[in-house]
Amino acid sequence: MTTETIDRAEVFSRPSAQFDGDGNIEVRASAALGCRRALWYAATGYEPTNPPSDDSLTAMEAGNALEPVVARAMERAGWKVDAPDPQDPKQVAVRVGPNMLVTGHPDGTVRMPLPEGEAAAPQVFLFEGEPEAPAYGDSMVVEIKTRGPEAFKRWRTLGAERSHPGAVAQAALYTLGEFGEIRPVVIATMDTGSRTWDYEVIPADRLERALQDACGWLGELGAHHVQNGPDPDALPERDFTANSWQCRSCPFLAVCLPGAAEDDGTDEGAETEGKEVTDEEARDAVAAYAEAQDSIKEPEKAKRTALDTLKAWMRRQGDSKATVGDRTVTLVSSTRYSVNHRRLNEALDPETRAGIVTENESEYVRVS
């Protein structure tokens, strides 16, 4: 084990909130939109009743380990990345109220390569034939995230302000801490399934709003602190309900919602609708599915080969319709339209996008 791992782990395992010796409540930027009661539990020294499982810790560590991978991918794509020293990451602190600080460690700053012809100033070359240095835009904070395939897709489609507002608030606080002003920010995300990455730029005016929302949210916790002092029994109201993901993954679930903690894991089948299915029936269903899959594989392959042959033949004929035996063969042309979500998300604020890109929940079963 290297000291780098230990140092980094120590830096990032700070509690989500704590009181400093000067009467401030200090909140981690990554928890800026977190449940304020959970922050109070952390700051007043409650022991976590539901610490993260080994699997969650592994997922978290894998996410941290992939951050430099995303940074290098950005560099290969032409970005100028200034990443912090992993042994001594830079901490920023932002005061969001008379008795509240938000602190954290930004993933770095980046400068976007400017398209050719958009260099800010004419370049001077000392030597003839010297390669032209790339031109970059202004420095921006980058917030690097890793997401599973579904969350990655959701982020790309909805934009970070709708899919992961906590990450945007975190980036807004880092920007203020890093530059002393609000600038556009970059959210770079890697899909942990396909190992592809993408980015979204959030313009400064929308980041300003995210910052105001986060300050308003945390300001109420600051007011609670002014009113009650660091009293562990003066609990703020719950911000979420028992069936939310925030509560289900909350380290203080058992103390806050003991009933929900008891239900958790012991009553997993309660939400299953419809008929009761035994384990035996589930095993039979998987076997039947696999058999059906195998039985259609060959015919599907034969169908594809035949259609490819016919497509080549129709193209050579130059006709879009032909009769072969008693069948009609048609070469169908269609146009596909795709949306550049990165540009859409950058151009429109979240409310406008919500009227255009809508969400529908559905569920299905995948057997692999």
CB closer to ligand SF4 out of 43 and 253: 253
CB closer to ligand SF4 out of 158 and 247: 247
CB closer to ligand SF4 out of 169 and 186: 169
Minimum CB–partner distance for residue 242 and ligand SF4 (Å): 7
**Burial class of residue 363 in the structure, from the number of CB atoms within 10 Å of its CB (0-12 exposed, 13-18 middle, 19+ buried):** exposed
Minimum CB–partner distance for residue 252 and ligand SF4 (Å): 5
CB closer to ligand SF4 out of 159 and 251: 251
CB closer to ligand SF4 out of 160 and 253: 253
Alpha carbon 136 to its chain's center: 26
Minimum CB–partner distance for residue 315 and ligand SF4 (Å): 60
Minimum CB–partner distance for residue 165 and ligand SF4 (Å): 16
Contact 183, 173 (CB under 8 A): no
User: Which pairing describes strands 109-113 and 80-82: parallel, antiparallel, or unpaired?
Assistant: antiparallel
CB closer to ligand SF4 out of 100 and 250: 250
Minimum CB–partner distance for residue 48 and ligand SF4 (Å): 10
Minimum CB–partner distance for residue 14 and ligand SF4 (Å): 18
CB closer to ligand SF4 out of 207 and 256: 256
Under the rule (CB under 6 A), what is the footprint of ligand SF4?
35, 37-38, 238-240, 246-247, 250, 252-253, 256-257
Minimum CB–partner distance for residue 202 and ligand SF4 (Å): 26
Contact 38, 250 (CB under 8 A): yes
